[in-house]
Amino acid sequence: MSDIIQLLPDHVANQIAAGEVVQRPSSVVKELLENAIDAGAVHIKLVVKEAGKTLIQVIDNGIGMSVTDARLSFERHATSKIKSAEDLFQLSTKGFRGEALASIAAIAHVELKTRQDADEVATEIKIEGSEVISQEACVAPKGTAICVKNLFYNIPARRNFLKSNTVELRHIIDEFHRVAMVHSDIKFDMYHNGSEVFSLPASNHRQRIVHIFGGKTNEKLVPVTEETDLVSIKGFVGKPEYAKRTRGEQFFFVNNRFIKSAYLNHAVSSAFEGLLHQKAHPSYFIYLSVDPKSIDINIHPTKTEIKFDDEHALYAMLRSTIKHSLGQFNVAPVLDFNRDSSMDTPYEYKGKAAQVPKIEIDRTFNPFKEENTSEKEGTTSRSNFKDYKKETSGTWENLYVGLDTKDIVTTSPIESDFSTVAFESAEVTGSLFTGDKQSELAHNITYQLRRKYIVTTIKSGMVIINQHRAHQRILYEEMLRNITMASAVSQQLLFPLELSFSKQEIALLETVKEQLENTGFVFEKLAEEEVVINGIPAVTTDSEVAVLLEQLISDMEHELPDSGFSQTDLLARSIASSVAVRTGVELAKEQQQHMVNSLFACTEPTVTPDNKPTFITLTVDDIDKKF
């Protein structure tokens, strides 16, 4: 039998590796930004066109590469970060496997320009599908500029799996945030389709977070600091009152590398136990520094998962540190509710020695002496004290002077004349419903079960309705009618609502501003980082607006459709899901009956907008079978 095992060609092996390293345009952005940071750059510029599908360009002012290094950088497993297997457990750089540039060059058109400070000319290399097209000298500033064009041009199937430009740009911005937040000492600029998206000057961690998520973020942050032999914890957590229903602003960094850890996330959530509303998630920006030998970052292709030697100790330290910070800054409630916060000792006085108080005493003071004598004798010695004045009280009989015993006790009751009191008679009116209508309503009885289901009767048996899902279907169809016909009813607010969002979230709201206005919203301002609302839909309350818009933004970031109808459908589904009455809400009889009537008046009452059943039917035969 002939041999059947053979070595794969390099271009095929590179495309297979690209399937792990490059999943979408944001993967390319991550690898190129990390390479620029490893090169020691202090200013990095990211240029993107059509959400990275057409162009991704990263320009840095790092150390650059020599002619030989520039050529070798596109070879598989060619790296300057490690030389032996032991180096994998002492990593201090971002990349180390040497697969990024080789994988990117296998599925795109790549142009590289690089120059070291000592060189007079730069090196330019052009590669298409792992094949070097040209290599020549050129003129370029110090550093490296790499340009990736036409991503997945030779793998059409992978290109077809990419989402819309809005979704892909959202992923690119997420990767940009993860890199920029941990390297606050580096200046970052980002441009998309020729317009500036971010311009982040070099600063500290707190200012970098504020520059990314908006000026209102500064007042929401609580600092977290702890130094131990095992780990160094620094960063910020959001105040409980600013918690959101989405997990957007949650970041863990270990040794300047972004990671995802459900275990550590649970530690943060448990520290907020009792402080958050149901289904609310806290914001946090936690920077952990540990010994590189105590972690393994080579367990995932994207290096976003890390294995710790002692996860349990890290969990306990992180949880206790956050609880301490929340209590230190009076965010968490304390047991002593009568405690005066002005008496708290500031933490900056931790290393200072206590000062002995100085007390002045008037040793000539005698309270048993007469007033005149004490004043004469203590004139010189008590010049710095207030005069002590002893008041003389009279005898106890003076308390009752001027009182008459007749005024104290009254033996005769007070007489009142009720002869002029008139009683208002209530006129008896007829019944609201007469005859058959009243008897018809009496037969249609509803009952709320466990504050979750509405039970009502029909001719063939009974119907059990899920109140949340039913209300969701009712609101969904109402919102669709309002958006398409622009006939929504808006309730004006006495005091306008002022909400703060980031620039990217404002841009998303502007795309659906017209549809939101058709549902009943009235915007006074929708620009920069602020939203001012004068009117809201009649089905919502002012306390629900912030949650509604946050949920809408989250839905749009992850599944924004391109067509207008689909966008309207998404908007109606998001609003209906946020506003619908929840499980646990007690409904009056009239509300139950109205929900039943409204549900069966819908065009599709059987399922929710997400195709979940709204009710089940039990016939008399089904009930008889139970007996």
Structure tokens at 189: 């600029």
* Residue of higher predicted confidence among 259 and 421: 259
Q: Which 8-state DSSP code applies to residue 384? A: T
Residue closest to 234 by CA, chosen among 216, 250, 215, 253: 253
571-594 pLDDT, tens per residue?
Answer: 888 888 888 888 888 888 888 999
Most confident region among 218-232, 284-298, 490-504 by mean pLDDT? 218-232
Judged against a pLDDT cut of 60, whether residue 129 lies above it is answered with yes
Judged against a pLDDT cut of 60, whether residue 565 lies above it is answered with no
pLDDT at residue 376 in the model: 47
* Residue of higher predicted confidence among 81 and 626: 626
Pick left, alpha or beta for residue 470 (phi over 0 → left; psi -120 to 50 → alpha; otherwise beta): alpha
Q: Helices 165-182 and 205-213 sit at what angle, rounded to 10 degrees?
A: 160
Angle in degrees, CA 558, 559, 564, rounded to 5: 140
pLDDT at residue 550 in the model: 84
5: number of Cβ within 10 Å = 4
In 3-state terms the chain splits into helix, strand, coil percentages (rounded to 5) of 35, 20, 40
pLDDT at residue 383 in the model: 47
Judged against a pLDDT cut of 60, whether residue 524 lies above it is answered with yes
Residue 269 sits at φ, ψ, to 5 deg, of: -65, -40
Least confident range of 14-18, 99-103, 472-476: 14-18
CB neighbour burial string for 347-384, b if at least 16 within 10 angstroms, e if fewer = eeeeeeeeeeeeeeeeeeeeeeeeeeebeeebeeebee
Which residue matches tokens 């915007």? 523
Judged against a pLDDT cut of 70, whether residue 269 lies above it is answered with yes
370 contact partners, CB below 8 Å, separation of at least 6: none
* H or E segment and range at residue 318: helix 311-328
Using an 8 Å Cβ cutoff, are 140 and 86 in contact?
no
Q: What is the mean pLDDT of residues 410-421?
A: 52
155 pLDDT tier (thresholds 50, 70, 90):
confident
Judged against a pLDDT cut of 90, whether residue 44 lies above it is answered with yes
Q: CA 139, CA 419: separation in Å to the nearest integer?
A: 112
Judged against a pLDDT cut of 90, whether residue 471 lies above it is answered with yes
445 pLDDT tier (thresholds 50, 70, 90):
confident
Which residue matches tokens 């496997």? 97
Segments of the chain assigned to CATH 3.30.230.10: 205-328
Q: What is the mean pLDDT of residues 91-109?
A: 76
Judged against a pLDDT cut of 70, whether residue 82 lies above it is answered with no
Q: Which CATH superfamily is domain 10-200 in?
A: Histidine kinase-like ATPase, C-terminal domain (3.30.565.10)
pLDDT at residue 417 in the model: 55
559 pLDDT tier (thresholds 50, 70, 90):
low
CATH of 446-617, one of 3.30.365.10, 3.90.950.10, 1.10.3720.10, 3.30.1370.100: 3.30.1370.100
Percent of the chain with pLDDT over 70: 77
Sign of CA dihedral 104, 106, 108, 113: positive
Provide Rg for the chain, Cα atoms.
37
Q: What is the mean pLDDT of residues 10-39?
A: 82
Strand pairing of 307-308 and 295-296? Answer: antiparallel
pLDDT at residue 332 in the model: 62
Pick left, alpha or beta for residue 371 (phi over 0 → left; psi -120 to 50 → alpha; otherwise beta): alpha
Q: CA 237, CA 234: separation in Å to the nearest integer?
A: 10
Q: What is the mean pLDDT of residues 469-489?
A: 83
pLDDT at residue 87 in the model: 57
pLDDT at residue 429 in the model: 46
CATH of 205-328, one of 3.10.129.10, 3.30.930.10, 3.30.230.10, 1.10.3470.10: 3.30.230.10
pLDDT at residue 182 in the model: 92
Rounded to the nearest integer, the mean pLDDT of the chain is 80
pLDDT at residue 183 in the model: 93
Residue 31 sits at φ, ψ, to 5 deg, of: -65, -40
Q: What is the mean pLDDT of residues 285-289?
A: 93
CB neighbour burial string for 409-427, b if at least 16 within 10 angstroms, e if fewer = eeeeeeeeeeeeeeeeeee
* H or E segment and range at residue 328: helix 311-328
pLDDT at residue 502 in the model: 81
303-353 pLDDT, tens per residue?
Answer: 677 778 888 889 999 999 999 888 887 666 555 555 566 666 666 666 777
Structure tokens at 587: 């409904």
Segments of the chain assigned to CATH 3.30.565.10: 10-200
536: number of Cβ within 10 Å = 21
Q: What is the mean pLDDT of residues 30-56?
A: 92
CA atoms within 13 A on the CB side of 545: 24
pLDDT at residue 84 in the model: 64
Judged against a pLDDT cut of 60, whether residue 425 lies above it is answered with no
Percent of the chain with pLDDT over 90: 25
CA atoms within 13 A on the CB side of 313: 10
577: number of Cβ within 10 Å = 19
Q: Which 8-state DSSP code applies to residue 335? A: S
Q: What is the mean pLDDT of residues 596-603?
A: 90
pTM (predicted TM-score) = 0.69
Going along 168-320, which residue ranges are E strands? Answer: 187-192, 195-200, 221-227, 232-238, 250-254, 258-259, 284-289, 295-296, 307-308
pLDDT at residue 58 in the model: 95
pLDDT at residue 184 in the model: 93
404 pLDDT tier (thresholds 50, 70, 90):
low
Q: Which 8-state DSSP code applies to residue 343? A: G
